[in-house]
Structure 1
Amino acid sequence: MATPQGSSTQNNVADALNSVSFSPFHLKAMFASAMGFFTSAYDLFIIGTALVLIKSEWHLGAAEVGLIGSISLIATFVGAYVFGTLADRLGRKAIYGLEALLMTVGALLSAFAPDVTVLLIARVILGLGIGGGYPLSAVLMSEYANVKSRGRMVSLVFSAQAIGLVTGPVVALTLLAAGVNHDLAWRLMLGLGALPAAAVIYIRRTLPESPRWLARVKGDAVAAGKQLASFSLGTATATVQDKIVKQPLSRYWLTLLGTAGGWFMFDYAYYGNTISTPMIMSHIAPHADVVTSTALSLMVFAIAAVPGYFLAAFTIDRVGHKTLQMLGFFLMGLMFLLIGAFPVLTQSVGVFLVLYGVSYFFAEYGPNTTTFVLAAELFPVNLRTTGHGLSAGTAKVGAFLGALIFPILLHDYGLHGTLMITFFFALAGLLLTAFCLKEPAGKSLEEASGEDIVVPMRKNTSAGMTPS
């Protein structure tokens, strides 16, 4: 357990971090981490609007539209797994920033794509970078944070998605309302996603290595102590050495089923809905043009989704991380059930927007935030980015299926049948959360993950420290 600063009891690195005060360093780390999620959310929305224009300009069929909209998500799976695995082996700092470089290159190449093939390649590159950002940003932030505010700090990183979700339609509306040529408009929409990613490449490369990883995986207590003292401005110090953690992944299969499975179920619903929002709006308001449907989407995101992100960040540590995820799954699923089971509700655009908006609120005030947080808490330090990468990567397979299948389901089964199917995904996510995951709120990472159970002691000690 964390030891209060100023106590005569000796601390190891983990103990010191568990009670370290919030500092300007944390703000810098949060900004650097958050910009990747701004980019991913911006692209998540903007590709839906861009595809409406690309489809018309390039005369694409439904299959090509579905592939362009979803291929970055399957690349995200690969990126999350590869970067997550490497970060546990090589260190978080060793590769942090490379994923932002990939996002920058992918967004720029998308803007200059001359045909479908190049656009698909660009979106694969973008997806690899977005995927790498999930485990690295989440885990670094959770390992820098103290016990009391860990949920809030990691959630605030993820809440940059809210700004990206709103910025996307604002950019789209501005370009379309200004009468910009459609071929240029979609290229600007996609290319602008490079800016926030490019802005933080240097900052990410200069962040310190995680002291937890240095102390508890690499076994370099001296380097861990220096990094700890540096970013805490000397307010946190370690005087005893941490145990080396070598937990096997086989101990965490049930946890992985809960984090990866629940996230998969959520992302099927969320990404399918979000990328297909312009199409959903056309079902509700079939005579609306692109500008009108984009404005309706913006209204849903700004009024319903954005408050959900920030309310989640500021209440997650009080409500409970697992509890909030279950609440969100339940109420989000309930909205899908109401829309799917009672077609009369969609006869009024206003009623539909309220229900659809409530589903978005509880997506953000629930599993969209908590899946990101829980996967960064429930795995041991030697597997933390691997576990998060596997979870986020598996989730993006669900997102890929949602983005690919949603347009087909909308065509074949209509809006009501499609959202009834989505309800069952939300129900499955609720059950996986309830039966596979533990509540980590108020616990240290070491306690939440159980990483110190049957961990071998270090035989040799570093200068100035004794075994804990």
Structure 2
Amino acid sequence: MSSSIIDDQPYGRFHRKLFFLSAGGPFLDGYILSVIGVAITGATRELGLTSFAEGLVGAAALVGVLLGGFVFGWVTDRVGRQVMYTIDLIALVAASALSLFVTEAWQLVLLRFVAGVAVGADYPIATSLLAEWLPAHRRGRTMGALVAAWFVGASASYAVGYLVAAAGGEDLWRWVLASAAVPGLIILLARIGTPESPRWLLRHDRPQDAAEAIRTALGRYPTEQELARLAETEPAKSSRLSDVFTGGYLRRTLFVGGFWLCQVAPAFAIWTFYPVILGAYGFEAGDTALLWSMVVSLVTLAGCVPCIRWVETYGRRPVIIWTFVGVTVSLAALGSFPGMAAALAILMFVVNALAQGGGNILQWIYPTELFPTDIRASAVGVASAISRIGAAAGTYLLPVGLEAIGLGPTMLVGAGLSVIGTAMCVAWAPETKGQALHESAAVPQQSEARAG
């Protein structure tokens, strides 16, 4: 295996700090996308939202994530990771704070959309920057751990909603939405001064800046030999967004976008409307449903923990395949027996949450590993955009589906998507465990080997 000063570095203080700063993005993503499930009841009553408008509110942030990832992934490959690392959070903080002044449904939809754009932009920015700094032996585990921050954020949003509901009731829904501005501002300030990716700098023929970035991060300048070895893996090169859809990378784009879509389309719909869905299975609306929503989010977080290690011990491919199987079985059970007892429904949601948590860590690993530095952020943005088409559609259609075809068939649609995702992973999922970043991102050959 060829290596470099970055691939060979021990996992140290800088890497831990960068991880926590990058994890702020998925934390805010989980918080913002889940908190609407907490606020939607109060907003619907006060603003008089129809099921159509309710679906728009739920899907607006996801549409924003789609646009933000697609556009700003490309921008990040052009202008660099560092400058975008803070700009996107400014928009997020502003949109969250302005939620305090919402008086019309269209205002709520617009602010949710803007917040979604900011969150979507952070996907390619933060993941590319972190992946390009991590040593090879910790890349999978650390990138996978990012998704845990999503569920921490989701759980935090339900905790805030539970406390607010207990304190003042549903009338405080504006404050619930605006609360995202507080962690957003903290993360924004902490990110200032983060060094640029030396891999990106070398791709843009800036070796001296790359050496300075390494000194800032690792505490010493690289030797000429170390910088030359890293430069060999990151030759200066111009690229276009269309490169993501051409040559050997087209199948990889379809794979990462496809499996991501099949994971999040049913998952985001369920997470957004957990209180509503749990109510349909017999749980009381209000505090009880919110409490169970928080519990299920924490269980999803627990599902991430073993898989973060398993991707480095057993590999990426078996983890993603078997977690898809778990999601399929649980959704099929929920859909086939919609009248099941509430306790059994919770058990199925727990199984679903554990499998979702484990499988979702690959959303943060595969896209960064399968594409080179010059198109990495673009590829992550495109994959994120593809996934959010499904997530937005699922979130919009779930309340409509519950009203039109009922609970059981709606869950079975989600199970069908999971079957497609399973088949896609069996056919296309590569094994990248233990490879240096430039090796896993190399243009695949027709004979590309798969482990598993």
TM-score w.r.t. length of structure 1: 0.89
Distance 1:164 1:369 in 2: 15
Per-residue CA deviations over 1:342-391 (Å, capped at 9, x if unaligned) read: 34xx421111101111101100111x221222111101111000000000
Q: 1:139 aligns with which of 106, 128, 141?
A: 128
Query: What amino acid is the match of 1:351?
Result: L
* Cα deviation code 1:291-339 (max 9, x no counterpart): 111112122222x212112333233222222321111111111111122
Task: Determine the structure 2 residue equivalent to 1:297.
Answer: 293
1:164: which partner in 2?
A: 153
Instruction: Give the equivalent residue in structure 1 for 2:5.
Output: 16
Give the stretch that moved more between structures: 234-243 or 185-194. 234-243
Residue in structure 1 matching 2:63, options 74, 94, 98: 74
Give 1:144 shift.
Answer: 0.7
- CA deviation digits over 1:13-37, x for unaligned, max 9? xx11111111211122112111121
Picking from 269, 272, 279, the partner of 1:272 is 269
- Equivalent position SS for 1:96: helix
Q: Deviations over 1:71-106 (max 9, x none)?
A: 111111110011100111111113211111111111
**Does 1:436 find its partner at 2:428?**
yes
Question: Could you give the per-residue CA deviations for residues 55-77 of structure 1, whole angstroms, max 9, x where no partner exists?
Answer: 11122110011101111111111
- Equivalences for residues 99-178 of structure 1 within 5 A: 99-178=88-167
Write out aligned runs for 1:76-91 (5 A): 76-91=65-80
Kindly provide the amino acid, as one letter, of the partner of residue 53 in structure 1: G
Residue 323 of structure 2 corresponds to residue 328 of structure 1: yes
SS in 2 for 1:365: helix
Q: Helix, strand or coil for the counterpart of 1:88?
A: helix
Q: Which amino acid aligns with 1:354?
A: L
Gaps of 5+ in 2: 446-452
Checking the alignment, whether the CA contact within 8 Å between 1:214 and 1:224 is kept in structure 2 is: yes
Taking the TM superposition and a 5 Å limit, the aligned residue runs for 1:208-223 are 208-215=195-202, 217-223=203-209
Report the Cα offset of residue 236 of structure 1.
5.7
Whether the 8 Å contact between 2:324 and 2:355 is mirrored in structure 1 is yes
**Alpha-carbon spacing, 1:342–1:409, altered in 2? closer, same or farther (3 Å):** same
CA–CA separation in structure 2 for the residues paired with 1:295 and 1:226: 49
Tell me, yes or no, if the aligned pair for 1:77 and 1:394 is still in contact at 8 Å.
yes
CA distance in structure 2 between the aligned counterparts of 1:173 and 1:200, rounded to whole angstroms: 24
Within the candidate set 42, 62, 69, 1:53 is matched to 42
Partner Cα separation in structure 1 for residue 76 and residue 295 of structure 2:
39
Match of 1:201? Answer: 188
Q: Which residue of 2 aligns with 1:445?
A: 437
Map Cα deviations across residues 413-462 of structure 1 (whole Å, 9 max, x no partner). 22211111111111111222222332111111111111599xxxxxxxxx
| Whole-angstrom CA distance in 1 between matches of 2:107 and 2:305 | 37
* Mapped partners of 2:200, 2:59: distance in 1: 34
- d(CA) in 1 for partners of 2:316 and 2:193? 30
- Preserved CA contact (<8 Å) 1:102 1:125: yes
From 310, 313, 335, give the equivalent of 2:308: 313
Which position in structure 1 is the counterpart of 2:449? none
**Aligned counterparts of 2:114 and 2:108: Cα–Cα separation in 1:** 10
Cα deviation digits, residues 130-170 of structure 1 (max 9, x gap): 00010111111111101111011112223111211211111
Residue 179 of structure 2 is aligned to residue 182 of structure 1: no
The 8 Å contact of residues 446 and 452 in structure 1, kept in 2 or not, is answered as: no
Q: Secondary structure at the match of 1:347?
A: coil
Matched position secondary structure for 1:21: coil
Q: Please list every run of 5 or more consecutive structure 1 residues that lacks an aligned counterpart in the other structure.
A: 4-14, 454-468
Give % identity. 23
RMSD over aligned Cα atoms: 1.8
TM score, norm. by length of structure 2: 0.92
Question: Is residue 381–residue 451 contact of structure 1 (8 Å, CA) maintained in 2?
Answer: no
Shift of 1:203: 3.0
Contact 1:257 1:432 in 2 (8 A): no
Range with greater deviation from structure 2 (186-195 or 107-116): 107-116
Work out the CA distance in 1 between the residues paired with 2:408 and 2:222: 55
CA distance in 1, matches of 2:122, 2:293: 26
Q: Do 2:41 and 2:170's aligned partners in 1 also have CA atoms closer than 8 Å?
A: no
CA contact (8 A) 2:204 2:237 kept: no
Q: How much has 1:341 moved relative to structure 2? A: 2.2
Alpha-carbon distance change, 239 to 171 in structure 1, aligned in 2, over 3 angstroms: closer
| 1:419 corresponds to 2:411 | yes
Partners of 1:2 and 1:194 lie apart in 2 by 44
Q: Distance in 2 between matches of 1:358 and 1:89?
A: 42
The worse-fitting range, judged by mean Cα deviation, of 233-242 and 322-331 is 233-242
Confirm or deny: 8 A CA contact 1:21 1:232 kept in the other structure.
no
Decide which of 355, 361, 373 is 1:362's aligned counterpart.
Answer: 355
Shift of 1:202: 2.9
How far apart, in 1, do the equivalents of 2:409 and 2:294 lie?
24
Paired with 2:442 and 2:68, the residues of 1 have a C-alpha distance of 27
Show the counterpart of 1:93.
82
Corresponding residue for 2:32? 43
User: Residue 205 of structure 2 aligns to which amino acid in structure 1?
Assistant: G
Letter of the 1:364 partner, please give it. Answer: G
Alpha-carbon distance in structure 2 between the residues aligned to 1:318 and 1:112: 50
Hey, what's the Cα distance between the residues in 1 that align with 2:84 and 2:26?
Answer: 17
SS in 1 for 2:370: coil
Contact residue 34 and residue 272 of structure 2 kept, 8 A: yes
Native 8 Å contact 1:162 1:309 kept in 2 = no
> What letter matches 1:38 in structure 2?
F
AA partner of residue 36 (structure 1): G
Output the CA distance in 1 between the equivalents of 2:10 and 2:142: 12
Q: Distance in 1 between matches of 2:444 and 2:361?
A: 27
Give the partner amino acid of 2:409: G
